Amino acid sequence: MNNKTVANADDMLLNVENLRISFKVNKHESVAAIKGISFTVPQNCTVALVGESGSGKSVSSLAIMGLLPSDSAQIDPNSRITFEGKNLLDLSLAERRKLCGKEFAMIFQEPMTSLNPVFTVGFQIAEVLRLHLNMNAKQAHARTLALLDEVGIPDPKTKIDAYPNQLSGGQQQRVMIAMAIACEPKLLIADEPTTALDVTIQKQIIELIESLRTKHKMSVLFITHDLALVGEIADYVVVMRHGEVREMGAVQQIFEAPKDAYTKALLHCRPSLTTRPWRLPVIDDYMQTAPSDKIHTERPRGLNGSEEIVLEVTNLAKSFFFREGFFGRKEFKAVEDVSFKLARGKTLGVVGESGSGKTTLGLTLLRLHQASGGQAIFDGKDILAMSNNEFMHYKRRIQIIFQNPYASLNPRFTVGQILMEPMHIHRIGSNDAERATMAYQLLDKVSLPAAAFHRYPHEFSGGQRQRIAIARCLTMRPEVLVCDESVSALDVSVQAQVLNLLQDLQEEFGMSYIFISHDLAVVKYIADQVMVMHQGRVVELANSDELYLNPKQEYTRSLLSAIPRGLQN
């Protein structure tokens, strides 16, 4: 992290002045998304644009790139976006195209949706070079190899001919970075480039962006909702909420002496590695004058060995088989020899990088994958060895919250239908009126209004959809709940609300959680025990505080060292 003083006017690369953007809802109505924001990006500096979903961060970056939809977006004529003295809003489409990708470039949040799946990654990088630098095929190929090597892609000569789906999430993001820096732009816009990545891959991407910024002497506009990341990469911070700038300043000042209540809330919503409050603070705790005392009361975590065991897993294994050649097949051991005990009313955190077997473990326990070996003893019976008819009764007692709330809810069902469907299947309630009453009670339990009953999933935010998914699980009153990356894609403030909800429900119903996540700060906060997985095997298993204070394995230590700590480096 650089500690620069405030830049003078001559150092400004990008200047956004009084930017106002609205979107048409219909012929007669528009909604204001950006409400007169102003900020600057100095040369050779990193400016972080921070805020929750809906704050206007990404809309601002799309306005700079000229990527707003022309049929619905309206930019106020008095707005200015000045790049090296040119007002980008006055340029023609052809003039903007010459600048985009060459003078300034963008890394998008989802590389898999940004990369074309039918072209190799080498072709897509070379296309930028041919378009903007007029390179021939031989020159573009050589430069593409150099770029892949520069961003840390292993074996570039092989990977240059790979398709996006053949690369990991971290490698896809590196390809996007290679494409963005291909023409050595003066400004790089990074829109949530590490969202949903493992902590180790996240750290690598952050270090890569910073090293490239230094090497190429470019500026970076880094967009994120996570202030812990900001402290590791940014020189200046712009905090946004509801389309307005709430606070801006040097990163040191924002972290050590924030002036705005919203900034203070964002700093404290994320779980800390040093404290574990009874409940995590949320935005309202700082926007109101009297926050709850529970945000200052410590919550004890851990097991003493006398707890009742609700689920005992022994030597669990799951293999996948792939065709190799004409007649052969290759075995991939996704989960191998995993054993653990889950105590009643307690939480087991499962952590590890992508590919470590975390999600496969959860899906296998739910019998969404068929186990290749091992036992899972629940209520004295091996649920993995049961017939489908016998397991039907146990489905009510073991449930899962999936990672993606946008894909796990049926878009054609209302929320009421989503909640009542499992009641019908498992014959909970004597009639629809009784089931509807229970559904309304569950909506209240997860802090959603009664009006949500008749609405569809697309009408809700990501955090609200995750609450609906939790309510759906609660319809069956499960004893064990598998949470598969259930808060990983949420804003830190919404994440805090969902974590508080899970803890409240655990206290009320005595549920046991298997909490799968790559976010080690979240796991430390919510878990009593933590199980570390690597390449399908258990590397380490210990009480939460013990594991974080005294990790015994080098792999665990590498995971812990990658946790973003803001300015506490």
The predicted pLDDT at position 3 comes to 43
Query: Could you tell me where in the chain the CATH 3.40.50.300 domains are found?
Result: 6-103+186-260, 302-397+479-562
CATH of domain 302-397+479-562: 3.40.50.300
Give the closest residue to 557 by CA, choosing from 527, 526, 520.
520
Chunked into runs of 10 residues, the chain (569 residues) has average pLDDT values of: 45 93 88 94 95 88 92 93 94 90 88 87 95 94 94 91 86 90 94 80 88 93 88 93 95 93 88 88 76 74 93 96 80 94 96 89 95 95 94 90 83 94 91 94 89 91 84 90 85 85 90 92 94 95 94 93 70
The predicted pLDDT at position 393 comes to 86
CA dist list (Å): 530 to 180, 183, 360, 521, 535? 38, 45, 17, 12, 17
The predicted pLDDT at position 406 comes to 76
Q: What DSSP character marks residue 270?
A: S
CA 33 from centroid of its chain's CA atoms: 23
The predicted pLDDT at position 368 comes to 93
d(CA 567, CA 569): 6
**Residues 63, 70: contact at Cβ < 8 Å?**
no
**Residues 242, 258: contact at Cβ < 8 Å?**
no
Give the closest residue to 303 by CA, choosing from 1, 93, 36, 547.
547
Three-state secondary structure along 276-311?
CECCCCCHHHHHCCCCCHHHCCECCCCCCCCCCEEE
The predicted pLDDT at position 557 comes to 93
The first and second tokens of residue 563, run together, are 């946790």
CA dist list (Å): 138 to 112, 154, 446? 27, 21, 59
Handedness of CA 479, 485, 490, 492 (dihedral sign): positive
Give the closest residue to 36 by CA, choosing from 58, 20, 60, 53.
20
- Class of 6-103+186-260 per CATH? alpha beta
Q: What DSSP character marks residue 130?
A: H
The predicted pLDDT at position 402 comes to 86
The predicted pLDDT at position 6 comes to 44
The predicted pLDDT at position 196 comes to 64
Phi, psi of 34 (to 5 degrees): -125, 130
pTM (2 d.p.)? 0.83
